[in-house]
Structure 1
Amino acid sequence: MTRWECAIEGDDRQFDNVEDLIVHQSTDHERITCQVCGTVIPDGYFAIKHAFDEHSRAEYVRAYDASAGDVRRRESVKEAIEAAANMGEVIDRLEGGDGSY
């Protein structure tokens, strides 16, 4: 079974399912400000999703002084999470539901 590691600012907590990871990142860590547009978003998966869904790779590279490897790594994380996560459950839990989506 794949374990999902938080990895925000050295947080090495691991989770059995990706939904728990996303909820943890969204609720237990400070929100961050997008360096491209100034939007305040949860760190972790939602920050990566925002960066690559809302901005070009070039904007991301310039704003975050990122390398091509940084971009590939974050795109890989985004793809892996989106392939595994039940986002309906995540949203329900973040909105105060019990996750029984």
Structure 2
Amino acid sequence: MSRWNCGIAGCGREFDGPEAVIVHQTTEHQRHECKVCGTIVPEGYFAIRHAFDEHTRAEYVRAYDADGSDVRVREGIKETIEENADLQSVVDELNGNSG
């Protein structure tokens, strides 16, 4: 089984699965303020999901001074997580219902 890395700059921790990475990002990293709307969200996957579920690609590009390549990388991360992670177990663990 391959390891999953925390992609937040300066971290580099490795985990056994995507769920553990998301929990780590949510509980051990500072929150992220969305540059489009100002909403505070957990860094990492949840910040990416917020950006692409709540805003247009054009809004993201303008607010983050990004380009098409930046968008594709983050969309790829979002897609990979959503294809591999049990997101309900992440929610349950973050809500204290792991078990």
Give me the TM-score of the superposition, normalised by structure 2: 0.96
Matched position secondary structure for 1:9: coil
In the TM superposition, 1:1-101 aligns within 5 A as: 1-98=1-98, 100=99
Aligned length: 99
Unmatched 5+ stretches in structure 2: none
Aligned-pair identity in percent equals 59
1:23-74 superposed Cα distances (whole Å, 9 cap, x missing partner): 0000000001000000000000000000000000000000000111110000
Unaligned runs of 5+ in 1: none
Cα distance in 2, alignment partners of residues 3 and 55 from structure 1: 31
- Report the Cα distance in structure 2 between the residues aligned to 1:69 and 1:43, rounded to whole angstroms: 20
TM-score under structure 1 normalisation? 0.95
What secondary structure sits across from 1:10 in the alignment? Answer: coil
SS of alignment partner, residue 62 of structure 2: helix
Which structure 1 residue ranges, 4+ long, deviate > 2 Å from structure 2? none
Residues in 1 aligned to 2:14 and 2:67: alpha-carbon distance in whole angstroms:
26
Give me the CA root mean square deviation: 0.8
State how far apart, in whole Å, the 2-side matches of 1:14 and 1:25 are.
12
